[in-house]
Amino acid sequence: MKVKLLSRNPDDYVRETKLDIQRVPRNYDPTLHPFEVSREYTRALNATKLERVFAKPFLASLDGHRDGVNCMAKHTKSLSTLFSGSCDGEVKVWDLTKHECVRTLQAHEGFVRGMVVRYCGTSFFTVGDDKTIKQWKMEAPGYGEEEEPLNTILGKTVFTGLDHHQKEGVFATCGQQVDIWDEQRSSPVRSFTWGVDSFSSVRFNPVETELLASCASDRSIVLYDMRESAPLKKVIMTMRSNTLCWNPMEAYYFTCSNEDYNLYTYDMRHLDRPITVHMDHVSAVLDLDYSPTGKEFVSASFDKTIRIFPKDGGHSREVYHTKRMQHVICIKWSADNKYILSGSDEMNIRLWKANAAEKLGVLSPREREATNYSQKLKEKFQHHPQIRRIAHHRHLPKNIYHQTKELRIMKEARRRKERNVRKHSRPGAVPVVSEKEKHIVTVLK
């Protein structure tokens, strides 16, 4: 004889305490939920709309400089400390949690061209238009003490860039040549030149720490190995690159900001063409910085906007601007991947959220679950026309909107002309050149 019984486990439906929410049994059989996709689509649409409603990226403005902010540096050990150098030679140390300046020092005469914090976080270096490299203590001087640098090196020419080795007491400067310095010596250990009159930026590779790269005024990007006596190779582009930044997670990728309004991501092993061309700015791109995850980077431009690009995306996912912000000269992404800091012409440093609609502060478990669920829904339906339109739409200042339109028309006219020339030429006489190859002149080894 067969007896059928209902077997229930009380753990599935009994509350542990009276404060818990009631547990509802659910059957996940898809045949019982015929409208699940349409319900999820509606939720995804609402989540996308709410994301645009809550997108308020601007957090704070750090005032105090008396001239344009020319360079910034992150502390290697402290998240809340920021260094900034201005065009009048002044260096300020900021406490980002309190949004206030904790220390000011007159470091140089003329522009502060570069700043970097030592890998151990005990001191920092600055270079300026007065041809000096100065090393400063991290702690402010005690009561009655003078603000004096730990070490001063007088160079022969103006230095335009500076970066420190990730593991050793070695740093690199650039100006008329790229110099490698030992902290214990007052003359460079090694100097690299390759027929160039000046360099604008030099950066150490964060993973392969012996490698470094620089941007030169002859429109080239040069790669070096500190163990070699001569540079490794260089790629010459159609227009000059201003700065470059290595991907902190994938050591062989670097991105450079260019005068032709674009950014180019290269694989250092194959310099004959960039991996991605990032387009959206309508004026020269002056600076960029990678997020610590290596998945995105932020760029600062002369067109008074900041844009966030995916590392493999041709167009930006976000654009930040304010009415008062002028040409953005320097940009940094905080080491906790949450904030972006920008320094601009009108003497201001601005603090932005890296994710515009993210809620800051402590989230309750239910809030976090709801956020994660909404995020998954948006990813699931991201290619639906309505959702994609709302998620991608950004309001732009009128002049940038019109410049973008104008550039699009110019590009289309060039493309049309090229097509017509090819149509009326001998087959193969006018080859098809991809967007990636258009901007490369040659690669020298």
- Is residue 18 within 8 Å of residue 360, measured between CB atoms? no
pLDDT digits (tens, 9 = 90+) for 34-72: 898 999 999 999 999 999 999 999 999 999 999 999 999
Higher-confidence residue: 159 or 14? 159
pTM of the predicted protein model: 0.90
pLDDT digits (tens, 9 = 90+) for 63-117: 999 999 999 999 999 999 999 999 999 999 999 999 999 999 999 998 999 999 9
- Is residue 234 within 8 Å of residue 279, measured between CB atoms? no
Q: Which pLDDT band holds residue 136 (cuts at 50, 70, 90)?
A: very high
CB-side neighbour CA atoms (13 Å) of 121? 9
Domains of the chain and CATH, by start = 58-140+147-353 (2.130.10.10)
Query: Nearest Cα to 57, choosing from 325, 383, 374?
Result: 325
Q: What is the pLDDT of residue 145?
A: 83
Helix axes 36-53, 365-380, angle to 10 degrees: 110
Q: Which pLDDT band holds residue 297 (cuts at 50, 70, 90)?
A: very high
Q: What is the pLDDT of residue 9?
A: 82
**CA distances in angstroms from 210 to 172, 180, 213, 226, listed in the order given:** 11, 11, 10, 5
| CA 275, 280, 281, 284 torsion-angle sign | positive
Q: What is the pLDDT of residue 53?
A: 95
- DSSP H helical ranges for 15-54: 36-53
Residue 13 has pLDDT above 90, yes or no: no
Cα angle value 240/401/54 (rounded, 5°): 105
Q: What is the pLDDT of residue 445?
A: 85
Percentage of the chain lying above the pLDDT 70 cut: 100
pLDDT digits (tens, 9 = 90+) for 138-155: 988 888 888 889 999 998
- DSSP H helical ranges for 23-155: 36-53
pLDDT digits (tens, 9 = 90+) for 184-221: 888 999 999 888 788 999 999 999 999 999 999 999 99
pLDDT digits (tens, 9 = 90+) for 360-417: 989 999 999 999 999 999 999 999 999 999 999 999 999 999 999 999 999 999 999 9
Q: What is the pLDDT of residue 229?
A: 86
Residue 331 has pLDDT above 80, yes or no: yes
Q: What is the pLDDT of residue 346?
A: 92
Q: What is the pLDDT of residue 111?
A: 92
Other CB atoms within 10 Å distance of the CB of residue 299: 26
pLDDT digits (tens, 9 = 90+) for 222-254: 999 988 888 999 999 999 999 999 999 998 999
